[in-house]
Chains A and B, each alone.
Chain A
């Protein structure tokens, strides 16, 4: 899996409450989550996420187990999320819903600039420099390749 998108920069310790607030969870309508994603951080951010690669600080996605957080990012059009470290439930959830998450140290972030990634080859490129990503486990790679855990299960049947 490869891609290039414009960078959206986020700080460290972005929690799942700030990604999608509890008040928007009373629905199964994914477009509601996409519309309100990261609203409490910056209400103007959601429309800028289409085709974006998020470059976040450490401990991305900490807090609650709400899967609506990675779903909201994916629905809003985020291509991948890059961070030096992720909270583990968010990391698992993102893979399960088919949102590429890439653990990679030292990636600089300039808003709007292109960021490229290759999960197959394990790198991220930003500002003309290539950074090595930590590989996914074999199982996680398989789930992501299938497009998420639901498809992975359907293929197994």
Chain B
């Protein structure tokens, strides 16, 4: 029977289809090139402006006047064409899509590799490049090869200090950086239904790190409740005995705090193996782990103490920042010695504030640690929010305590 990807795309794995896209988005990084390609296609107005979003998150606010000029052109286009436009300071595209902009059963395409994040809602969500995005603006549709699916069957439940991030790093480590190329991942099993929406978003976000086209959860009660807060009433999705190309079983009880070691995201080790490695910086944020629950958990772990290394916290959206302000979490962070940045990608891609220097070592809650990405000649480890908190307090890599 059919997988969730096959149901949403309405065809069998291996077939090529053209489909109208329900939601399309680009950011200040890819949008500039998409606009250029769109104009080269001889177009001035997108076919379905109401379906298109532009988010300014990668270099937000602009780091220099060259960036600002490029952003101004894209901003004018978005406003003139009546697109949904989200200016600097609003937050990361994937976070804002997950704040009520992506729904179960939809086809969501973003000009960013982590667009697979919205698969957490039971959407078929995937990333493309700028020219593909321009063609979607022009005609409203794009082509897909319907992917085969790898099932990640989750059993048991997370225990101790382990987080969804540790599970994400573990599955990417098991699959390898190209273990799911051209495929979709479906997270299924009893263990999957117990994972909160925020954790699901972390898991689908990292599907691309194993090469997958997307990662999906079936919309269930957790999805319904989460989206009801944004005013949506959604229909649940029930698996129909899908045919998987591959199945991987993970027992959540076995998941422990892990790190991805520089410079391959699929090189995974227990945090305890690297304990004591001095750190120049800890970074908490990104589309993987910059949600309110992440920032709140981090603050709770460092509250009343002082961080011993440069610690940058970047909320994933204005809403996250606002909530952190209201609940006192922001005060906790600042009192503990953290630097709080404006909502957006922050130092994640090494273009902006918080970039690392040569030979510096950092721990980040992001999703990829390619060589030089966050700073030329720097090294950085990827880990969970709890690992980031313990490490910030210790000034070096440190395993989180079991709560």
Contact = CB atoms under 8 A, between A and B. Distances in A.
Contacts of A86: 181
A59 B178 CA distance: 6
B178 A17 contact: no
A27 B131 contact: no
Interface stretch (A45-53, A65-73, A111-119, A121-129): A65-73
B132 A40 contact: no
B49 to A, nearest CB: 18
A59 B211 contact: yes
B138 interface: yes
Contact of B16 (A23, A62, A137, A157): A137
A85 B178 contact: yes
A85 B178 CA distance: 9
Contact of B67 (A26, A40, A96, A149): A26
B143 interface: yes
A17 B378 CA distance: 14
A85 B176 CA distance: 14
B112 interface: yes
Given A26-B66, A96-B129, A150 B37 contact: yes
B194 interface: no
B100 interface: no
Interface in A89-121: 89, 92-93, 96-97
B66 A62 contact: no
B129 A22 contact: no
A88 B368 CA distance: 17
Given A28-B70, A137-B145, A149-B135, A21 B372 contact: yes
Interface in A124-149: 137-139, 148-149
Contact of A65 (B41, B129, B134, B135): B129
Contacts of B274: none
B327 interface: no
Given A64-B113, A65-B30, A153-B135, A87 B130 contact: no
B178 A65 contact: no
Interface residues of A, number: 39
Given A87-B211, A88-B211, A96-B129, A40 B372 contact: yes
A65 B129 CA distance: 5
B395 interface: no
Given A59-B211, A64-B113, A25 B128 contact: no
Given A40-B372, A65-B129, A26 B213 contact: no
B33 A93 contact: no
A35 interface: no
Interface string B322-362: 00000000000000000000000000011100000000000
Interface in B25-73: 29-30, 32-33, 36-37, 40-42, 59, 63-64, 66-67, 70
Contacts of B59: 26
B114 to A, nearest CB: 9
B127 A65 contact: yes
A15 B213 CA distance: 16
A93 B113 CA distance: 12
A59 B181 CA distance: 8
Contacts of A28: 32-33, 36, 70
A139 B36 CA distance: 23
Contacts of A65: 30, 111-113, 115, 127-130
Nearest to B115: A65
A89 B144 CA distance: 12
Interface in B359-403: 368, 370-373, 376
B351 A96 contact: no
B310 interface: no
B84 interface: no
B61 to A, nearest CB: 14
Interface in B185-224: 211, 213
A152 to B, nearest CB: 8
Contact of A88 (B177, B181, B349, B371): B181
B41 A17 contact: no
Nearest to A59: B178
- 3 A-B pairs with least C-beta separation: A59-B178, A93-B129, A67-B129
Given A22-B349, A87-B178, A150-B41, 4 more contacts: A18-B372, A21-B373, A62-B177, A86-B181
19 contacts: A15-B368, A17-B349, A22-B351, A26-B59, A26-B67, A40-B371, A40-B376, A63-B113, A63-B368, A64-B112, A65-B30, A89-B128, A89-B129, A92-B128, A93-B129, A137-B16, A149-B37, A149-B132, A153-B135
Interface of B: 16, 29-30, 32-33, 36-37, 40-42, 59, 63-64, 66-67, 70, 111-113, 115, 127-132, 134-135, 138, 143, 145, 177-178, 181-182, 211, 213, 264, 349-351, 368, 370-373, 376
